[in-house]
Amino acid sequence: METKIGLEIHCQLTGAKSKLFCSCSCEYRGKEANSNICPTCAGLPGTLPLLSRRAVELAGMISAALGCTVPEEIAFYRKNYFYPDLPKNFQLTQYNAYGITSMGVDGIMQYGDGKSARIRRVQLEEDPGRLVYEGSMETSPYALIDYNRAGVPLVEIVTEPDFADPKDVRLFLDKVTSLIEHLGVCDTRLEGSVRCDANVSVGGGNRVEIKNVSSFADVEKALRYEITRQNSMASRDIEIKSETRHWDDARKLTKESRTKEEEQDYRYFPEPDVPSIVLGSEFPSLVSRSMPELPDKRKERFISKHGLSPHVAQVLIDNKELADFFETAMSAHYLPREIANWIVNDLMGFVDEQQKEERSILAGLKVTPGHIAELARLVDEGTINRSIAQQVLAQAVKTGEMPSQVVRKTHSSRIDDSDELGRVVDSVFKAEQSAVQDAKSNANAANFLLGKVMAATKGRADPKAALELIHKKLAEQS
C-alpha cells in the first residue's frame, strides 16, 4: 500500500545570541530555572515583542539553502492556544494566508542518490518554555515550569508528504542536519536543538501525526512502527483514526495521547505589535553573502579537487564536524585520499553508535586531525605498513599518543634494512628445513616461508623485500 510521510522539523537558531523577541540569551541550557527571562519572554502585561534582525537573517539562510523563495515582506501571526509552557497562551509564529508568507516557501531539496523532497514552507517562531514533572506527566501533582527556553528562535521546516520509505526520511534528515550545521545556524549536538514530528498515511487513509520523537534516529524507528501498525489495521479493515500519537522512547512504540486531543482552533491573526517586515530586494544578496559553502558544493569540491570517491565524500559532508576534521588533517599533510579513507573506514570504527546518533562524533576522542595526518604520512612514506598502521591508530585512540611516538615505542616501523631482514630469513630457513626443500620446487611453499618471516617480525617486515630475499636465498641454495 502506498505510504505517504511528511515532516515538520523544528530547529533552534542557537547561532543567534538573543531570543527572537527579547534580549534574553539563547543559552538557556544548564541555567537555574527561570533565571534566563525578562518581562517580555515571561509574558508580562504591557510588554511588546522586539524582533531580532539576526534571527530573520539566519532563517533567511535556511530558506535559501532549502531552495525556497524568500518573499520581499514577511509577517508574524498569533497562534492562539492554551498550554502551561506558553507564557502568553499564544505563540508568535508565521502563517501563509491572505497574501502574506513565511520566511520561505516552495522549496525543493535533493538528497540521497537523485531523490528529492518538496519544502512547503520555512517559518520563524518562538520556542515555548519547558515542563518538568515529578515522576511522570500522569502522576505528577503539578507541572514545574521553566520559562528559560521560552522565546528562543525556532525555524520550522515543513515538507510535502513526499516520502514513502523511512530510510529516505533518515537520509533527508541527515542532509538537513548537515545543512544547518554548515550554515552555522544551529548546534545540532545540543539536546533538543532539533526536533522532528512526522505525519503518516497509508493507502490514502487518514493522517496520523507522530510527536515527541526526541532524536532523528528514532524518527525512522517510529515511522517503521507506525507504518506496520497502520498496515496491519488496514489489512483487518479497521479504519485508521486521524489522531496525534506520541513516541514512547522507552518502549519504542507510538501510543495514543493520554491528554484528550481537543479539536484545535488556533484563531490565527496577524500580530499587531510586529509590523510586516520589508526585507527588500537586497535581502537575498545579504543572505547569500553571509552564506558559507554548503554540503553539496563541498562534496563536489572533495571529489573534483581532492579526488575522493563520491561515497567517501558523502560520508564526510553528512557531518560537518567530520568534513572539517578532514580538511584540517589535509592541510597538515596533503594526502586527501589516504586521510579520508583513514577517517571514514578506520576512525569511525572507534566511535560508538550512540555518539553517532547524537552527532557528537569527535567529542571525547583523543585523536585529532594531526594524528590522522601523521598516520597517513607514515603510511605514505612507507615507514609502516597498513596493518601496522591500524594497530597504531588503535593505540592512539586509547592513549592520545601521536602515531610516530607509538611507532617509536613499539619498534613497529617497517623492517626494510636488508641486513636485519636477512638475519630473520636465515633463522626461518634454519627452522623450516623441509619447507625450504619443498619451496625449491613448489612456489606456494615460498609463501609459507614468507608467512613465517612476517610472523617472526610481528608484521613489520616489508613483504615485498622479504619475498625477494627468500627467492634469492632459495636460488643460492639450489
Residues 142-171 that bind Mg ion (CB under 5 A): 156
Q: Give, in order, the Cα–Cα distances in Å from 454 to each of 104, 139, 385.
A: 63, 66, 12
Kindly determine how many residues on this chain lie close enough to bind other proteins according to the rule CB under 8 A: 71
Q: Which of residues 141, 311, 419, 430 is near other proteins by CB under 8 A?
A: 141
Between 137 and 455, whose beta carbon lies closer to other proteins?
A: 137
Half-sphere exposure at residue 125, Cβ-oriented, CA atoms within 13 angstroms? 24
Q: What is the DSSP letter of 112?
A: T
- List phi, psi (to 5°) of 98: 55, 45
**Beta carbon of residue 126, minimum distance to Mg ion (angstroms, whole number):** 9
Cβ proximity to other proteins: between 88 and 460 the closer is 88
User: Considering only CA atoms, which of 194, 88, 84 is closest in space to residue 133?
Assistant: 84
Q: How far is CA 336 from CA 331, 351, 422, in A?
A: 9, 21, 36
**Helix (H), strand (E) at residue 119:** strand 115-126
Neighbours of 351 (CB within 10 A): 17
Q: Which does 370 bind (CB under 5 to 8 A by kind): other proteins, Mg ion, Zn ion, none?
A: none
Binding to other proteins in span 179-218, by CB under 8 A: none
Question: Residues 9, 22, 343, 361: which binds Zn ion (CB under 5 A)?
Answer: 22
Q: How far is residue 221's CA from residue 251's CA, in Å, rounded to a whole number?
A: 11
Binding mask 226-265 for other proteins (x = CB under 8 A): --------------------------------xx--x--x
The interface with other proteins within residues 29-68 (CB under 8 A) comprises 32-35, 37-39, 42-56
Please, which of residues 173-192 interact with Zn ion by CB under 5 A? none
| Residue 35 interaction partner, one of other proteins, Zn ion, Mg ion, none, beta carbon < 5-8 Å per kind | other proteins
Q: Which of 232/259 has CB closer to other proteins?
A: 259
Nearer to Mg ion, 57 or 156 (CB): 156
C-alpha distance across the termini of the chain, in Å: 74
Q: Which does 156 bind (CB under 5 to 8 A by kind): other proteins, Zn ion, Mg ion, none?
A: Mg ion
Using DSSP's 3-state secondary structure scheme, residue 193 falls into coil
Is residue 78 within the footprint of other proteins (CB under 8 A)? yes
Contact 77, 269 (CB under 8 A): yes
- Is 439:474 a contact under the CB 8 Å cutoff? yes
Q: Interface mask (CB under 5 A) for Zn ion, residues 31-50, using x and -?
A: -------x-xx---------
> Among residues 133 and 334, whose Cβ is nearest to other proteins?
133
Q: Does 150 bind Zn ion (CB under 5 A)?
A: no
Question: Could you tell me how many residues of this chain bind Zn ion (CB under 5 A)?
Answer: 5
Q: Which of 132, 164, 238, 363 touches other proteins by CB under 8 A?
A: 132
Residue 401's identity, in one-letter code, is E
Spatial separation of the C-alpha atoms in residues 215 and 200, rounded to whole Å: 18
* DSSP at 174: H
Interaction site with Zn ion (CB under 5 A): 22, 24, 38, 40-41
